[in-house]
Amino acid sequence: MTSTRVTEIDGVRISQIQSVSDNRGAFFKFHPLSEINNPPDSIAFSSNPNTGTLRGLHFQVNPFAEEKLITCIQGAVYDVIVDLRSSSRTFGKWTSFELSGTNLLQIYLPKGIAHGFQTLEPNSIVHYCLSASYAPEHSYVINPYGDLDISWPLETIHVSDKDKNGLTFFAAAQKYAESLEHR
């Protein structure tokens, strides 16, 4: 991995995965242990057959708040992150990136960052390395059409009811802040 850079959201880093290829194909090596501060708990994939699919903005609260390492390994996605950490100088800010199987960018997200994406190409696959187990009772979503005023690049074709009916940003930030008080 080379060229790690910091983004405009505190603690978020972007790295480019290096690959080796020959006439057989390509080999890509992820380095989750060098990015995630805690040992990875799980590896997950999101398979998205349709362009315009929207997922997110998802986050978990303590004690299951997650660090995430995210890469699009096939296709392309418009990736969006939101800072829920009231102690951060970038609290309430959001930013976006294009992740693709071509650019091989890998994003590290610390705890307290909500994440979502919209597929830009059919058959997009997103790879996650996660520091905590999925805990439905500690898992929340911010409404991707709500008060953050995110301009998604495409018409949304598929979005879950859970995502459409997610929390406002301020309600989500409050849930995250309350979880810090009960650690």
Pairing of the two strands 19-22 and 25-28: antiparallel
CB 141 within 8 A of CB 167: yes
Strand partners, 55: 117
User: 91 in helix, strand or coil?
Assistant: coil
- The tens digit of pLDDT for each residue in 146-157 reads 999 999 999 999
pLDDT at site 2: 44
Q: How many CB atoms lie under 10 A from the CB of residue 25? A: 8
CATH number of the 2-181 domain: 2.60.120.10
Domain ranges for the chain, please list them.
Answer: 2-181
The H or E element that residue 48 is part of is: strand 42-48
The H or E element that residue 59 is part of is: strand 54-60
Q: What is the largest distance, in Å, between two alpha-carbon atoms of the chain?
A: 55
- The tens digit of pLDDT for each residue in 94-122 reads 999 999 999 999 999 999 999 999 999 99
Calculate what percentage of the chain has a pLDDT beyond 90.
Answer: 74
Q: How many CB atoms lie under 10 A from the CB of residue 142? A: 30
Confidence of residue 65 (pLDDT cuts 50, 70, 90): very high
Residues with a known catalytic role: 58, 128
